[in-house]
Structure formats: structure tokens, C-alpha cells
Amino acid sequence: MTRPGTWIAATLMALVLGMPARAQESASGGLSFASRLTLAVPFYSLHFPRDGDFNDHNWGGMLFYALDDHVALAGGDFINSYRRNTAVAGASVTPWTLDLAGLSIKPGLLAGFDLNGGYRKHDPVEPLLAAGTVAIGSDRSATPDATLLDRLGLMITVIPGFGGGRSNALNLALTARL
């Protein structure tokens, strides 16, 4: 049986990859709505110090809406490491950007709420969720002439286990800036 997160991830990524290059600026001269959106599709997780009991394929999707260069609203749905569907909403802050050899590297924090109890009995601060992130992509992704490859990237997310013998998680997600 296919999990709901798998269909969500496949559908969202097909939509993004099928879209033509978008206009970067709206008629008012600011960024267009679509150009502020970034889709993240998780594809692999590693849990440490223990990995054996966890789901390492957390299919689903997260959508980020950039309010400016450093703050974004976030929401999504995925199958978590406990094999439970999880809906989340929150915000991302990336206070620094390092442009290095054509890559944009943005470390930051992601904080939000577990909307449907996907981490119930596993998160000591439920319904709050928090993680550290590093987004890596082309430094051309925000330019009007960005190609599809320029708009693709990788997001690394580290989710703390909050002690008590809990494992931490390192998650990898493919990103696409619309």
C-alpha cells in the first residue's frame, strides 16, 4: 500500500518540474507570489545514535513562502520517522547567506507546530517542533533568467532528539524554488 506522503511528494515535485521558468517580478515591481515559494521533498533520513527502529524514508513535502531573504512561513505533510502522518506549520529563519563558488549556503532554524499529533508520545515539548537547517542551492535561483537546474537545491535538516535516550535525525530533502 502506498503511503499518502509518497503521493504528495510525487505530485508536488511533478508540478514544480513541469512548470516553465517563472517571471521573477510582479507588475508592481516586487517578487511575484510564485517566485517566493520553495518546495522541499524529503527523501532520506539517518538517525543517530540509534537508527534501527526508525523510518529512513520520510516522504511528503514542505512548502516555504519567503517573506524576505531571511524569513519564510512553512507548512507541509510527511510520514515521520515513527511511520505516522504528520502535518506541520511554522516559520524558518536563515539569518546568514554564504555565497561560495556559485552556491548559496543558508544555515538556519525551523520551528513550528505538529498539527495532527504525528509525534504524540515521542516529542517531550509537543506540539512544538524545532530543527536546524542548511539550505544549499544556486546563487542564481532568485534571478529572472534562472534555469531549472539553478532552482534545484538540497536542504539538510537536523532534528534533535531532546535527550532521554532519544535519537537525533539528519534529513535530506530535494528543494525546488518556483
**pLDDT of 33-59, one tens digit each?**
888 899 999 999 999 888 778 889 888
Return the pLDDT at 150.
Answer: 84
Query: How many angstroms separate the CA atoms of 117 and 128, rounded?
Result: 10
- The confidence score (pLDDT) of residue 140 equals 78
Evaluate whether 169 touches 156 at the Cβ level (below 8 Å).
no
pLDDT at 123: 82
CATH of the domain at 167: 2.40.160.20
Cα distance between residue 148 and residue 102, in whole Å: 15
What pLDDT is recorded for position 21? 45
CA distance 75 to 97: 22
In this predicted structure, what is the pLDDT of residue 148? 79
For residue 138, what pLDDT is reported? 87
Sequence length of the chain is: 178
Model confidence at 30: pLDDT above 90:
no
- Enumerate residues 6+ apart whose C-beta is below 8 A from 5: 58, 59, 60, 61, 77, 78, 79, 85
pLDDT for 121-177, tens place per residue?
Answer: 888 888 999 999 999 998 777 676 778 788 899 999 999 886 666 789 999 999 998
> What is the extent of the structural domain holding 26?
4-177
44-48's contacts with Cβ under 8 Å and 24+ in sequence apart are: 44/171, 44/172, 45/81, 45/169, 45/170, 45/171, 45/172, 46/169, 46/170, 47/81, 47/167, 47/168, 47/169, 47/170, 48/167, 48/168, 48/169, 48/170
Q: How many structural domains does the chain have?
A: 1
